[in-house]
Structure formats: structure tokens, C-alpha cells
Amino acid sequence: MRSIVNILKIFVAFCYDYARGLSYTIITILILGYCLHPARFPSHYTYIKTEDIYDEMERSYPARDNSCMITINPRRSSQLLYPEEHPREHPVAMARRLGILPGGQWKPLNCHPLFNVAIILPYRNRQTQLTIFMNYIHPFLQAQNLDYRIFVIEQSPVREFNRAKLFNVGYAEATKMNDFHCFIFQDIDLIPQNPDNIYACTKMPRHMSSSVNTFRYNLPYSGLFGGAIALTRKQFERVNGFSNVFYGWGGEDDDFYSRLQSKGLQVTRFGPDIAQYYMLIHNKEPPSSARFENLENSAKRYDTDGISNLEYRVLNHQLRPLYSWILADV
Amino acid sequence: MTMWERLRNPCGWRAGAKQISVDAMIPIFAVPTLALIAAQTVLCTVIIFVATPILVYYLHHNFLRFLLRTKFFLMWTITSVVMLMLIFEVNVVPLLEILLEENIVFIMCVVGGIWCGYMTRSNADSVTQEGTLTQGLELGEGSGELCITCRRRAPPKAHHCRIHAFLIENIIVNGSSNLRWYLGCLFFSAIAFIYGSNLTITSVCHPFILIGTVLLPDDCSDVYHQLDIALCFISALYSLLVGLVIVCYLIYHLWLIYLGTTSNERRLLEAGSPCDHGMLKNVSRLFCCKT
């Protein structure tokens, strides 16, 4: 008994003598462990290598002798493009200069395009951004020799903004007009900076905006699927489109990601040296409070909520010089 | 030593509790309060950033300089560094915009700076305490004079270095290892402050890439909408300013070494320094050998 007490005493004395050093060490390790914990940082994601991009693209038309070339030149990634903040050219003049058909349609005339793309942009009350975007995107897309058409889906001013449902409306309206093979769903404030970022579909759904300047050109988390995405019509129909219930900011992209996961569709991305985006400056919106609730029971609604139960009214539509405009009540 | 005393001053674990003086306590409350006020609006930020140096100078001129070896500036430094680190690790990193590698580089610079600063201080203390002995060995001349600024016995060719903003209040002995630590501290802390500032400001602002390599902010108009983002922005501004001041000091000291003198000597006698061995020799003397 006594010896045990003695040993205890020695132990306590030892601890007391070294308590300071010991506690400092433990605290240092804990602090460093917290500060450098990998979960607190954006992830380095896996991406399609630059040389494999051409093979990974899902062509809309079979390749022919006079098919258009797509050139991917990784050397030029250091020269990022920036949009003109105050475009002066009138849309009509621009459409005439670039040979754009009414409704924002264009296809290359001197070669057969490989890709047939509908670009869907949800919109409300961002006139200056729309002008900047249109002024920038047409030359960008023409340089890639795409057969494309741009749709701007504007939501009527009654309810909260529903980005996901506007995408579904865009899909439905575009399909009525033409048999588009590939859909690109994109926010209007995102400007692709690299000409190598091909605006067409890959064999798997692609998250295009993986390297946005407001995230310091990093991908915050690997489950992010917002901003700009590219899917073929088949892929979009297989997951039943977007959910219709996400009114307000946030949540719909995470929901769409889990839809893709549930159907076994793996998300691909281009590398950070290709997929750079520039976000136009605007005020941030407060996130919607219902988004977590909607996300929680999203799995039950995969088959019932989407393009299968899409209901909307087209209030107005116009073929404007640089895009097809559709005003919808959702 | 009672438990209460220990709690009151945890640093006195071995040495026994010491009463922390009031002037050393001021920065612990003042720095976070000022940061919070500055984070309200743009106007607040401007006012705080202009008024604080004036206020501190006023405080120093009227009160602090009459105190013997005040810890005010040291505590200001420690509080600022702790606050900046806290804001960076707790506020900026969870925005998920800074890579692990960038954080490791940043933390290494911070630790390097703190370590060098600590070594400078402890070297200065040992030099002053062992006073005459060290001088006799190193410089081979008479006893040290009383430093006017801090009233410590300082060896000749030492000078008192008062850097008001970030304040390694210290005694620098030219030619001894102390100056090397001091310059190391300046170097690492300059990198840490400026790099950390850049990381923070590009996280909270709207950045662009300059010539394919460096991220720089071009629009910070919406940082004041949220208090935590505003705090990040304020801390970035603060550390950028401090970093720039440190860079100036670093250049100034390197230039003095290049000339072979210390700033006190330069102040006291404009003529050539007695310890001038030629520019190259001065520099090599610092970094290569002690004698």
C-alpha cells in the first residue's frame, strides 16, 4: 500500500514538474491539429486531363471529313479573358456583325459542328449583367465552333426566385423548339475565362465552374455542383431534371448532385487550369431558410418532383437579337 | 503561492505570481474593441485607422514613457498577433477558399517570426544581464552605458529599437547573434503579415489574377454587410499596414548594416562609424562569423 502511495507521489511530482511543458505540448498539438485539419480546406479534385478532353467529349453529330476542329491549347491558360464591364455595342449591331440569327442562334458555316448545345440562363432583374454576359459569350462560343442557342428564362415577379425550376422550364421550352443534344445550365454572373473550356457535354455530367475567382480559383468542396453545369439531354431526363420546390437562394444544386449520385452518374470536371470563371460583381442574397428542410427529404422526391410534374405558364416570349427570351410564371 | 495568484497570472507558474500592470492590460481590451468598432462601416474603419496611432502616441508621450520598462507595446503586439491568427483560423479558413499548403506556409512564417522574436528578446535579456562580461568578450571595451529609453544597462554599439506599431521593444546588439534573430523576426513576420493579409483579402473580396500568378482584390464593396466578413477585412488591412511598416524597417536595417552602423549611432554621430569595416565585410560579419 505504502509503495503504491510512494509511486503515486513520485508520479504526481513528475507530472507537476513537467506539467507546464506537457500542457504546452498538448495545447500546441491540439491547435496545430485543428488549424491544419484537411476538412477545413478546399479539396484538390480529380479532373479530366487536358490531353483527354477531346476524347471525353460527347459528340452531338458524328465526325466527318469537314467537321470543325476543336483546339485545346493548355499553354495559353495564363492569359485569362475578362469581360468588358461597359459594353457599348448595340445588340442588333452585334448580332449583324457576328451573324447571329434572331433568338441567339448560331452555327459555323464553313465546317460541320460537332456539338449542338442549348444554353439555359435563369434571370431576374440583372440587366447590366445580362448585357455584359451576352456581349462576351457569343464571340467565346463562336470561337469553339458550336451549334448553339441561348435561352434566357425570366421569372415573373410574384414569388421568390426559383433557379432550379427555371432550368426545367428552359429545358422544356428548348426541347419544344429543337432536338438539342446537350444542355448547359448556367448562372448569368459567371464568365468563362479560358477559351479551352469547351461549352459542350462530356460523357458524364460535368461541373464546369470548378475554379471560380470568388473562391480564389479553388473548389470549396467536391460535392459542389452549382454555377455552370453541362449535361446531355439523356442524362438530364434520367435524373428527372431539377427539383421544383427550391424557392429562394441555395440548396437546389446540392439536391441535383444527390440526384445524379442516386442514378450512379459520376460528376466530372476540367482541371483548374481550364475551368476558370470570373464572377461578375453583385450583392449576395441571404440564403433561404427552407433549403435544409427541402434537402432533408429530397431523396423521396427524385421520381415525383422534377420535369415529370413540371407546371408553368409562359407569359411572354420574344426572339431578341442575342437570345431567346421567355417570361414564365412558375 | 495560492491558487488564486496562479490563476491571476498563469505565466507565474514557476516564478510566482506577478501583478500585471494596468498599462500592459490596456491593449488586451483595446485591440479587439477597436477592431469591432472599425468593422461597422467604411467611415469607422478610416477613423479608427487614423485615430489609433495618434491615440497611442498621445498615450506614450504623456504616460507610458514615464513608466519603467512598460509592457504596453509588447502586449499590443501579442494581442494583435493572437487576434489576427484567431480571425484567420476561425473566420477566414472556414470560407473554404484557402488551400492547406497556403495555410501551412502561413503558419510556418508566423511560428518562425514568433520564434525569432522570442530569441531576440531572450538574447537581449541575457546580454544585458551578463552586461560587462559579454562586452568584455565581444567588444573588448569598457562598461556599458545606461540606455536612455529603457534605463537598462546596455553594451556599447547596442541601441534601443522602438517600433511603435508592432513593437519588439528591444535592445539590439550589432555583430552579435541578436541582430540576426531580430532580422529573422522582421523577415518572417513581414512575410506572414503580408501573405496572410493577401490570403484574407482575396477570400472576402472579389479577386482577379495579376499576370497569371498573383491574386489581388479589385472590389471589396460588400464586405461590410456581415460582421465576420468585415472583421476579416479589417484584420487584412491591419496586417497589410503592419507588414508594410515591417518591410520598411527591414530595408532600413539592411541598409544600416550595409553602411556598417546602427541607428542610434547614426542619430548620435553623423560622421563615420568606428566599427566600419567596409560594406561587404559588415554584411559577411553579420551572417557568417561572430567576431
Domain boundaries defined on chain A:
1-41, 45-329
Chain A residues with CB under 8 Å of B96 CB are: 40-42, 215, 218, 220-221
Chain A residues with CB under 8 Å of B14 CB are: 20
Q: Mean per-residue pLDDT for B197-221?
A: 86
By the 10 Å C-beta count (0-12 exposed, 13-18 middle, 19+ buried), B195 is classed as middle
Three cell numbers, residue B18: 506577478
What pLDDT, on the 0 to 100 scale, is given for residue A206?
Answer: 94
**Tally of CB atoms within 10 A around A82:** 12
Q: Residue A330: helix, strand or coil by DSSP?
A: coil
Query: Which residue among B98, B103, B104 places its CB closest to the CB of A216?
Result: B98
Where do we find the cell 470560407? Answer: B95
Fold observed for domain A45-329: Spore Coat Polysaccharide Biosynthesis Protein SpsA; Chain A (3.90.550)
Between strands A211-212 and A276-279, the pairing is: parallel
Question: Using an 8 Å Cβ cutoff, are B231 and B249 in contact?
Answer: no
d(CA A305, CA A242): 8
Question: To which H or E segment does residue A234 belong?
Answer: helix A233-238
d(CA A183, CA A78): 28
* Model ipTM over 0.90: no
Sign of CA dihedral A73, A79, A80, A81: negative
What pLDDT, on the 0 to 100 scale, is given for residue B177?
Answer: 65
By the 10 Å C-beta count (0-12 exposed, 13-18 middle, 19+ buried), A96 is classed as exposed
What pLDDT, on the 0 to 100 scale, is given for residue A123?
Answer: 93
Chain A residues with CB under 8 Å of B104 CB are: 36
| Cα-based distances in Å from A162 to A25, A155, A184 | 52, 8, 17
What pLDDT, on the 0 to 100 scale, is given for residue B127?
Answer: 58
Q: Report angle CA A159, A165, A315 to the nearest 5 degrees.
A: 65
Between A14-18, B211-215, B285-289, the lowest mean confidence (pLDDT) is in: B285-289
What pLDDT, on the 0 to 100 scale, is given for residue A78?
Answer: 61
pLDDT per position as a tens digit, B149-178 = 444 444 444 444 444 433 444 445 444 567
Q: How far is A73 from chain B (nearest CA, A)?
A: 16
Q: What percent of chain B has pLDDT over 90?
A: 25
pLDDT per position as a tens digit, A42-88 = 888 889 988 888 888 888 888 888 888 877 776 665 678 888 888 88
Answer whether A139 touches B (CB < 8 Å).
no
What pLDDT, on the 0 to 100 scale, is given for residue B1?
Answer: 42
Question: To which H or E segment does residue A230 belong?
Answer: strand A228-232
Please, what is the average pLDDT of chain B?
A: 73
d(CA B186, CA B253): 10
Question: To which H or E segment does residue B145 belong?
Answer: strand B145-146
Where do we find the cell 494581442? Answer: B79
Question: Using an 8 Å Cβ cutoff, are A287 and A224 in contact?
Answer: no
When comparing pLDDT for B60 and B280, which is higher? B60
- pTM for the whole structure: 0.80
What pLDDT, on the 0 to 100 scale, is given for residue A302?
Answer: 85
Question: Using an 8 Å Cβ cutoff, are B42 and B222 in contact?
Answer: no
Q: Contact B96/A41, CB-based, under 8 Å?
A: yes
Query: Which residue among A20, A36, A221 places its CB closest to the CB of B13?
Result: A20
d(CA A215, CA A224): 12
Segments of chain A scoring below 50 in pLDDT: none
Chain B residues with CB under 8 Å of A19 CB are: 13
Given a cut of 80, is residue B124 above it in pLDDT? no
Residue ranges in chain B assigned as alpha helix (H): 3-8, 22-38, 42-62, 72-86, 100-129, 131-138, 177-204, 227-259, 263-268, 279-287
Query: Which residue among A38, A42, A80 places its CB closest to the CB of B97?
Result: A42
What pLDDT, on the 0 to 100 scale, is given for residue B153?
Answer: 46
Q: How far is B73 from chain A (nearest CA, A)?
A: 25
Q: Contact B96/A218, CB-based, under 8 Å?
A: yes
What pLDDT, on the 0 to 100 scale, is given for residue B148?
Answer: 45
**Tally of CB atoms within 10 A around B170:** 25
What pLDDT, on the 0 to 100 scale, is given for residue A312?
Answer: 92
Q: What are phi and psi of A241, to 5 degrees?
A: 65, -160
pLDDT band at B207 (very low <50, low <70, confident <90, very high): confident
> Number of A:B CB contacts under 8 A?
65
Query: Which residue among A80, A218, A281 places its CB closest to the CB of B219?
Result: A281
When comparing pLDDT for B123 and A168, which is higher? A168
pLDDT band at B106 (very low <50, low <70, confident <90, very high): very high
* The length of chain A, given as a count of residues: 330
Where do we find the cell 434566357? Answer: A152
Q: Residue A159: helix, strand or coil by DSSP?
A: coil
Q: How far is A288 from chain B (nearest CA, A)?
A: 16
| Cα-based distances in Å from A304 to A245, A265, A307, A329 | 11, 19, 9, 21
